[in-house]
Structure 1
Amino acid sequence: MQTHEIRKRFLDHFVKAGHIEVPSASVILDDPNLLFVNAGMVQFVPYFLGARTPPWNRAVSVQKCIRTPDIDEVGITTRHNTFFQMAGNFSFGDYFKKGAIEFAWTLLTGPQDRGGYGFDPEKLWATVYLDDDEAISLWQEVAGLPLERIQRRGMADNYWSMGIPGPCGPSSEIYYDRGPEYGVEGGPEANEDRYIEIWNLVFMQNERGEGTSKEDFEILGPLPRKNIDTGMGIERVACLLQGVDNVYETDLLRPAIDLVSSLAPRPYVNHGHSADDVRYRIIADHSRTAAIIIADGVSPGNEGRGYVLRRLLRRIIRAAKLLGVEQPIMADLMATVRDAMGPSYPELVTDFDRIQRIAVAEETAFNRTLASGSRLFEDAARSTRAAGATVLSGTDAFTLHDTYGFPLELTLEMAAEAGLSVDEEGFRGLMAQQRQRAKADAAARKQAHTDLSAYRELMDSGPTEFTGFDELTTEAKILGIFVDGRRVPVVSHDGLDAQRVELILDRTPFYAESGGQIADEGAITGTGASETAKAAVTDVQKIAKTLWAHRVNVESGEFVEGDTVVAAVDPRWRHGATQGHSGTHMVHAALRQVLGPNAVQAGSLNRPGYLRFDFNWQGGLTEEQRSQIEEVTNQAVEADFEVHSFTTELDKAKAMGAMALFGEAYPEEVRVVEIGGPFSLELCGGTHVRRSAQIGPVTILGESSVGSGVRRVEAYVGLDSFRHLAKERALMAGLASSLKVPSEEVPDRVATLVDRLRAAEKELDRLRMANARAAAANAAAGAEQIGKVRVVAQRMAGGMSGGDLRSLVGDIRGKLGSDAGVVALIAEGDNDSVPYVVAVNPGAQDLGLRADELVKVLGSAVNGRGGGKADLAQGSGKGAAGIDAALAAIRAEIGRS
């Protein structure tokens, strides 16, 4: 049975049983505790916590999940993936243990010709929590499972929580017996390789308190209502139903392995833990995970989700290299993932060009990084051999891993080719220290979910009505007042010492920050007997996407819950905000017209008079492209296009070609903003001008990189654009006056002056170095004798760089001849730096002197750091006052040799 069919049967089974099918959420959710969605129930957490009321009593989903904490173990075990599909059914105060067991059992054991999976009931086992006698009875009653195939297990295995205060409860897991060839008998307690877990039924009935582990927390009491949360691993079920040994042999992963095997000199033989087989599995696993992450809007970067994606892609490239694949492989791998996963995840097909482009760009960049890292390895290997050692240090191996992304296995292979071994213990010690720091940092950031219980009553009563599309002033009723997150009946100006005051209204014209548009500013005033009440609105945020929380400064009077007030947006603020937001749409459309459809939005920010737009693109824009984008944008402004908005179904909007932000979750009914017919069509909930000419001139300020494969354009609009252009004009007029040329000749005149300045600087550098070399010749002639060593230890003229000093020590060392000699030069460089260089000739090295050791003597006196080799080393410090002491110290050190 193919994996897509397994997935479909799960959904169909529960839909027929009255469950609402809920599409998979993006793997990126706005949750402070999660880098990626890592469980099927994550999108339902607000319902389990009681923060929001679920719109249905029963739900079913197949959720995209990503878990990367143990990424280094991928491919070693044969049933774990970084990406997996978690099928789950959920009950919110509806059925409980009996229903969950019935639904699971009938699907698992139901005949395949009737929509089931057809598992042999005699091969299924169940585990329950230690004291859950009810679950044991139900397994016997509902499934006819004999007592000997039901095992009790402790809290670590059969009691579920999110790891933080919140809902929890006992669980019951279903296992499949793969047979004696996979291990000893005795159920899951005896062997979890033979007895493989396929489904976990969580009976969510309690609330947990604080704790430090899976087993160390207090049960605070029962939840207001009992819920069901289950998770069935699609990949594991596919493994069993397709009759293969491991998940990498299933229909969704094997194609990637076959592709690589066709290119590699050594085939995939599935020998379990062999190094090559692990590499094949890494490539197969990481390829589809990377494709899913890119499809949900992530680009490679150096932190957070971008770093995880970069690491996945680089591990693919490294594994392919170690298998002997020399040619680029990423484009074909992404196509293989698209073909295998596309039937379940159509975004991999529709967005394939962007996914493939980002993956290929990272492959190209990392191949250059590999070349740089290889040079570092060669230097480390050369230094190791020069010191008479045969073991590459753990520090060198760690630097290769941490700086260049070299895994230990790559360093080991390169070291073996160079006739060296590696200090693996030292490397692992440094890695352990890094992991401890990372865990401590993660633990410090981890927190419970934001407590929305104070807003629960208001959320249940319905969403805030937004009137701001049609009016800027609205009469409204105060539904709730919150001071520092606590609901109060009244708030007044007198004696107010709160940090934050929020007013929740039943309707409002204020736009709440979202979609890149910052919140409106304005005022809320009282009416009738409360007309003296006035509050300045400084921010508006959405609570659980339904309530508008107006954050205010109370300036006079008092506000009482239930009062009628007038909410008024500052019209000038709104006008500027609409200019910025509509201008963002125009720039986006112009980018795609000039650069093509791959210039896809990756984020934006707009406020009155200003816009910032991030988009996926490799490499900087040319000056011609920037000019074209600005011209196309302003031509559309001048065309005075009508700005039209309407609501429609999400699928219809996408079919019309409306652009959506990658990674954003949209409801079934969406708002579409159309500017000039086909010129710009986007999904957007923001406020806009009525005609494009109202945006005013758009001036692009610049374009820059904000991460690998992501560029940023910034621009002024409206009066801010005019003011910027006026400043530019005044600046140009000033330059023309100073240079005494017409404005149009200023660029050529400035270029001529710059050329002259550079020529003068080169001549000054030449004269300075000539003087320095003359001084160096004198220094060599006057070298002092310290013991058996001729020594030149000298302060050089200011303004010299490390490169200058390195050139001079070579000249001086050459003039010292074959006698044992040491040259140490130090100077006051630019920007308060103190560069220094030490050279030691072979004669001095024979006496035990090393440049890389002497350079540390200089560094200690000038607060510097440095390093190098036995014959040449250099460094830089910041303590110029210590230069004389540094030279005295190095003379003393040589004298002790």
Structure 2
Amino acid sequence: MQTHEIRKRFLDHFIRAGHTEVPSASLILDDPNLLFVNAGMVPFKPYFLGDQTPPWDRATSIQKVVRTLDIDEVGKTTRHNTFFQMAGNFSFGDYFKREAITFAWSLLTDPVDQGGYGIDPQRLWPTVYLDDDEAYAIWRDEIGVPGDRIQRRGLADNYWSMGVPGPCGPCSEIFYDRGPDYGVEGGPEADEDRYIEIWNLVFMQNERGEGTSKDDYPILGPLPRRNIDTGLGIERLACILQGVDNVYETDLVEPVIETAEAATGRRYGAGNHDDDVRFRVIADHARTASMLIADGVRPGNDGRGYVLRRLLRRIVRSARLLGATEPTMGAFIETVRATMSPSYPELDLQAERIAEIAVTEESAFLRTLNAGSSLFTDAAEATREQGRDRISGADAFALHDTYGFPIDLTLEMAAEAGLQVDEGGFAELMQEQRDRAKADAGARKHGHADMSVYREFLDRGPTLFTGFDELVTDAHVLGLVVDGRRVPIATAGQEVEVILDRTPLYAESGGQIADVGTITNGPGTKLVVRDVQKVAKSVWLHRVYVEEGEIAEGDEVLAQVDPAWRHGATQGHSGTHLVHAALRQVLGPGATQAGSLNRPGYLRFDFNANAPVTESQRTEIEEIANGAVESNYPVHTFETGLEEAKAMGAMALFGENYGDVVRVVDIGGPFSMELCGGTHVGSSSQVGPITLLGESSIGSGVRRVEAYVGMDSFRHLSRERALLAGLASSLKVPSEQVPDRVENLVARLRDAEKQLERLRAEQARASIGGLIDSAVRVGDVLVVGGRVADGLDANNLRGLATDLRGRLASDTAVIALFSQTDGKVPFVVTTTEAARDHGLRAGDVVKAIGPAVGGRGGGKPDLAQGSGTDATGIDRALGELRDLAAKAG
């Protein structure tokens, strides 16, 4: 039985039992705890946790699943895979153990001609939780499984939870006996290689508390509603029903191995274990990579992107080790598309994009692989010659730093060569590099590849910053740098870095961007300061444009901050402190700073939090911050020892390295006290009004708020007020009634859209009879097709097509319906059973006629769909359909 048929039978079985089919969710869900969807029940978590009310009492799905913990083990055995199809049926407070067990047993054991899988009942062994007498009795007394084939197991094996406090319950697993050739007798307790688990039925009936392990946590009591969650592995069942030993020999995976054989000249299963491992890596990873790219993942250097990059690189390297001399990725991705798209039409619809991303990554990695492999070979040979079995951390770091070899690839290559890697030494060198990168961040920003040009200034001592007390300072030009070289003089039209002995201009740091201003030397020389950065946290670099005149080393100049800019910058920075203090009052002390940016009139503040800020919390934060503005708190700054500052309660912010003497900014005594080197207002009232603009997530456990302050806040509120006044005038209601009126209009618009949709559907249904009347018989095949009412989407077209197929079920008919909506041309093709017997499969027909309307698509033999962009090609598409029918008839 083919895998696509296995999927269909599962869904059909549960749909007949009153379940709603729920399409597979994306592999990428908005869940900070998950990199990818790793179980079939994940999309239903909100319903099981009670966070949301399910729209159905019972559901069924076949969910895409990716698990990446065992990437390194893939291929070494036939048991590890990264991509799965997990079939499941779910009950939300509806049926429970008896029905779940009965549904599973009937599907597994019913004859094939009755919709089941036809598995011999004598080969199935259920397990139940130790004291689950109810499930045991159902299996023995109602299903009829002999008691000696029902095994009781403990918490670790037969009691399910999410691993955290929440729903839990006993489970009943169903194992299949592969026979004495695969191990010893005695059921799952004796040998899980011979007896393989194919289905797990979870009876969620309790709530668990905190625990320390998989089998160590308290059961707190029963759930208000008992639920069912089951999972059947499609790939495992395919192995059984197709009579093969493992997933790599099943109908959807073996073709990728065959493609790899053709590309490399090697043969799978020829007795070379290492080669077999590489074939399996290619087959597994090509499927997973295709599905990830289809769901929006792109290769990158962290998170999901890094997982995808690693999978693709393992494919490339495995193919090379098997003997491939030309690029192979395109062929592997195409084979996955061809085999998997009947169940996942998105692989057809996105075929070009998926292939482009994968092939581009292959090309880039081949360059890396070719350059780095020679260096690795040299390092490995040198290691052996020195009588060692461990490649040095320095060699591993060189591979990473010079050739872009990720450490996991070096570890993998070393293991293949019978060597280890000094991972500790590698980690130390990586940390040193990170430390250097942090110390040189300012220099890197300006492209200073050679730090020696600044050595003289660093040795001389730090730039004296006068900007806390004055905005204008007499200064002495110590040096000029252009494109990384010292120059004696700079003239009008040049960009130059100016190093002064003292300056009032603030250099970017602590989230506050640099001051702008001027440097002048008499009436004929003016330099516009566009940016100020630090070298090694001590020497100020003024990046300027020489607007007029010239400047030379040794000149006496006047450095001046733009006062309006500085005022706005101090408002932004002091406003950041006020918002931080307000956040901590509302959200608690855990809402600590994780980054910030402030510039004139604007602030952006990142903070640690595990949940979004609610609208009421946002309002409270805004009120507290503006209350501090109205209170006109004095702003005091002073220097003291680091430990003394901490003892006062001053906050030391994220990731900062402080010296023994620190600067403290105190706003209103206990309201806000932080270590800070930025510039600030004299009193909190000078910040002006604070308007929070929004709140969002920027990463796992980190949120961000943005705000306007001062006149920018006033201008924003003024625009909002004008907008509201305009709406009130247009709607002819007082301003306070605008929200209700807009909500009413939106509701009416939705009702009108629904009514229009109903009218379109009715018009389309009314045209069905006309389509049948105008149908053309080509040989034995009745071709029914045409353009129905515009504005119908694929869902409506499917309904109409299915209705037509039902009317023509006894005929040899192929049906193609087209519509036009928003510049798109959705189309659906369906076929009767007799037409399929003539070789007319809907998925093939869609691919054949799709180009005529500038589109493509795919689907199952009985029903497929696509979308195009050229409605003028509909007649041409119908002509091609008639040609297909003529060939079939």
TM-score tier, shorter chain, comes to 0.5 to 0.7
- Cα separation, 1, equivalents of 2:837 and 2:593: 63
- Cα separation, 2, equivalents of 1:587 and 1:378: 55
> Residues 217-366 of structure 1 correspond to what in structure 2 (within 5 A)?
264-265=156-157
- Is contact 1:584–1:606 with CA below 8 Å preserved after alignment? yes
Determine the structure 2 residue equivalent to 1:254.
Answer: none
> Residues 164-179 of structure 1 correspond to what in structure 2 (within 5 A)?
none
Query: Is 2:251 the counterpart of 1:389?
Result: yes
Query: Is 2:499 the counterpart of 1:504?
Result: yes
- Cα separation, 2, equivalents of 1:463 and 1:866: 66
Determine the structure 2 residue equivalent to 1:768.
Answer: 760
Relative to structure 1, is the Cα distance of residues 800 and 556 closer, same or farther in structure 2, using a 3 angstrom cutoff? same
Determine the structure 1 residue equivalent to 2:479.
Answer: 480
Instruction: Give TM-score scaled by structure 2 length.
Output: 0.53
- Cα separation, 2, equivalents of 1:76 and 1:843: 43
Determine the structure 1 residue equivalent to 2:805.
Answer: 813
- Cα separation, 1, equivalents of 2:239 and 2:873: 35
> Residues 829-840 of structure 1 correspond to what in structure 2 (within 5 A)?
829-830=821-822, 832-840=823-831
Relative to structure 1, is the Cα distance of residues 540 and 888 closer, same or farther in structure 2, using a 3 angstrom cutoff? farther
**Structure 1, residues 568-606: CA drift from partner, whole Å, max 9, x if none?**
000110000111111111112212211222323222221
Query: Is 2:855 the counterpart of 1:864?
Result: yes
> Residues 657-676 of structure 1 correspond to what in structure 2 (within 5 A)?
657-676=649-668
Query: Is 2:676 the counterpart of 1:684?
Result: yes
- Cα separation, 1, equivalents of 2:565 and 2:847: 60
- Per the TM alignment, residue 449 of structure 1 is displaced from its structure 2 partner at its CA by 8.4
Query: Is 2:750 the counterpart of 1:751?
Result: no
- Is contact 2:809–2:832 with CA below 8 Å preserved after alignment? no
Determine the structure 1 residue equivalent to 2:528.
Answer: 536
| AA in 2 matched with 1:483 | V
- Per the TM alignment, residue 896 of structure 1 is displaced from its structure 2 partner at its CA by 2.7
- Is contact 2:572–2:601 with CA below 8 Å preserved after alignment? yes
> Residues 6-405 of structure 1 correspond to what in structure 2 (within 5 A)?
72-73=71-72, 264-265=156-157, 389=251, 391=253, 394=283, 395-399=286-290
Query: What is the CA RMSD across the aligned residues, in angstroms?
Result: 4.6
Relative to structure 1, is the Cα distance of residues 454 and 382 closer, same or farther in structure 2, using a 3 angstrom cutoff? farther
Determine the structure 1 residue equivalent to 2:866.
Answer: 875
- Per the TM alignment, residue 765 of structure 1 is displaced from its structure 2 partner at its CA by 1.1
| AA in 1 matched with 2:455 | R
- Is contact 2:463–2:503 with CA below 8 Å preserved after alignment? yes
Which residue of the other structure, out of 500, 504, 515, is the alignment partner of 1:520?
515
Relative to structure 1, is the Cα distance of residues 846 and 622 closer, same or farther in structure 2, using a 3 angstrom cutoff? same
Determine the structure 1 residue equivalent to 2:835.
Answer: 844
Determine the structure 2 residue equivalent to 1:209.
Answer: none
> Residues 408-423 of structure 1 correspond to what in structure 2 (within 5 A)?
none
Determine the structure 1 residue equivalent to 2:107.
Answer: none
Query: Is 2:599 the counterpart of 1:600?
Result: no
Query: Is 2:465 the counterpart of 1:489?
Result: no
Relative to structure 1, is the Cα distance of residues 802 and 683 closer, same or farther in structure 2, using a 3 angstrom cutoff? farther
| AA in 2 matched with 1:847 | H
Residue aligned with 1:620, SS: coil
| AA in 2 matched with 1:503 | V
- Per the TM alignment, residue 663 of structure 1 is displaced from its structure 2 partner at its CA by 3.4
| AA in 1 matched with 2:867 | S
- Cα separation, 1, equivalents of 2:508 and 2:209: 39
Structure 2: 5+ residue stretches without partners: 1-67, 77-153, 159-198, 214-228, 244-248, 257-282, 298-303, 312-327, 334-357, 369-399, 406-443
- Is contact 2:529–2:542 with CA below 8 Å preserved after alignment? yes
Residue aligned with 1:750, SS: helix
Determine the structure 2 residue equivalent to 1:894.
Answer: 885
| AA in 2 matched with 1:476 | A
Determine the structure 1 residue equivalent to 2:637.
Answer: 645
**Structure 1, residues 595-642: CA drift from partner, whole Å, max 9, x if none?**
222323222221111112222333433221221111111111111112
- Is contact 2:239–2:250 with CA below 8 Å preserved after alignment? no
| AA in 2 matched with 1:846 | D
Query: Is 2:584 the counterpart of 1:722?
Result: no
Which residue of the other structure, out of 761, 767, 770, is the alignment partner of 1:778?
770
Relative to structure 1, is the Cα distance of residues 699 and 886 closer, same or farther in structure 2, using a 3 angstrom cutoff? same
Which residue of the other structure, out of 543, 550, 566, is the alignment partner of 1:551?
543
Structure 1: 5+ residue stretches without partners: 1-68, 78-261, 267-320, 335-370, 412-424
- Is contact 1:373–1:400 with CA below 8 Å preserved after alignment? no
- Cα separation, 1, equivalents of 2:208 and 2:529: 54
- Cα separation, 1, equivalents of 2:75 and 2:852: 50
Residue aligned with 1:538, SS: strand
Relative to structure 1, is the Cα distance of residues 835 and 440 closer, same or farther in structure 2, using a 3 angstrom cutoff? farther
| AA in 1 matched with 2:287 | D
Determine the structure 2 residue equivalent to 1:468.
Answer: 467
**Structure 1, residues 483-536: CA drift from partner, whole Å, max 9, x if none?**
22221100011xx4x5x4211111111111222211111111014xxx421111
Relative to structure 1, is the Cα distance of residues 741 and 471 closer, same or farther in structure 2, using a 3 angstrom cutoff? same
Residue aligned with 2:767, SS: helix
- Is contact 1:397–1:427 with CA below 8 Å preserved after alignment? no
- Per the TM alignment, residue 73 of structure 1 is displaced from its structure 2 partner at its CA by 4.8
- Per the TM alignment, residue 732 of structure 1 is displaced from its structure 2 partner at its CA by 1.9
Which residue of the other structure, out of 776, 796, 804, is the alignment partner of 1:804?
796
- Cα separation, 1, equivalents of 2:548 and 2:649: 50
Aligned length: 535
**Structure 1, residues 771-826: CA drift from partner, whole Å, max 9, x if none?**
11112342234322233222223223333222222222222222222222222223
- Cα separation, 2, equivalents of 1:756 and 1:70: 50
Determine the structure 2 residue equivalent to 1:788.
Answer: 780
| AA in 2 matched with 1:492 | T
Relative to structure 1, is the Cα distance of residues 827 and 640 closer, same or farther in structure 2, using a 3 angstrom cutoff? same
**Structure 1, residues 373-396: CA drift from partner, whole Å, max 9, x if none?**
9999899999999x9936476443
Between 1:775-784 and 1:729-738, the stretch displaced more is: 775-784
- Cα separation, 2, equivalents of 1:388 and 1:72: 20
Determine the structure 1 residue equivalent to 2:190.
Answer: none
Relative to structure 1, is the Cα distance of residues 689 and 814 closer, same or farther in structure 2, using a 3 angstrom cutoff? same
| AA in 2 matched with 1:728 | E
Determine the structure 1 residue equivalent to 2:731.
Answer: 739
| AA in 2 matched with 1:501 | V
- Cα separation, 1, equivalents of 2:569 and 2:718: 22
- Is contact 2:448–2:484 with CA below 8 Å preserved after alignment? no
- Cα separation, 2, equivalents of 1:880 and 1:758: 27
Query: Is 2:819 the counterpart of 1:827?
Result: yes
Question: Greater relative contact order (Cα 8 A, min sep 6): structure 1 or 2?
Answer: 1
- Cα separation, 1, equivalents of 2:599 and 2:449: 27
**Structure 1, residues 402-449: CA drift from partner, whole Å, max 9, x if none?**
6597999xx9xxxxxxxxxxxxx9999779985664676998999998
- Is contact 1:696–1:719 with CA below 8 Å preserved after alignment? yes
Determine the structure 1 residue equivalent to 2:450.
Answer: 451
- Is contact 1:380–1:396 with CA below 8 Å preserved after alignment? no
- Cα separation, 2, equivalents of 1:863 and 1:728: 44
Relative to structure 1, is the Cα distance of residues 388 and 522 closer, same or farther in structure 2, using a 3 angstrom cutoff? closer
- Cα separation, 1, equivalents of 2:816 and 2:752: 30
Relative to structure 1, is the Cα distance of residues 739 and 481 closer, same or farther in structure 2, using a 3 angstrom cutoff? same
| AA in 2 matched with 1:522 | G
Relative to structure 1, is the Cα distance of residues 554 and 728 closer, same or farther in structure 2, using a 3 angstrom cutoff? same
Relative to structure 1, is the Cα distance of residues 572 and 847 closer, same or farther in structure 2, using a 3 angstrom cutoff? same
Query: Is 2:654 the counterpart of 1:633?
Result: no
| AA in 2 matched with 1:878 | T
Residue aligned with 1:896, SS: helix
Between 1:564-573 and 1:701-710, the stretch displaced more is: 701-710
Query: Is 2:570 the counterpart of 1:578?
Result: yes
- Per the TM alignment, residue 564 of structure 1 is displaced from its structure 2 partner at its CA by 1.1
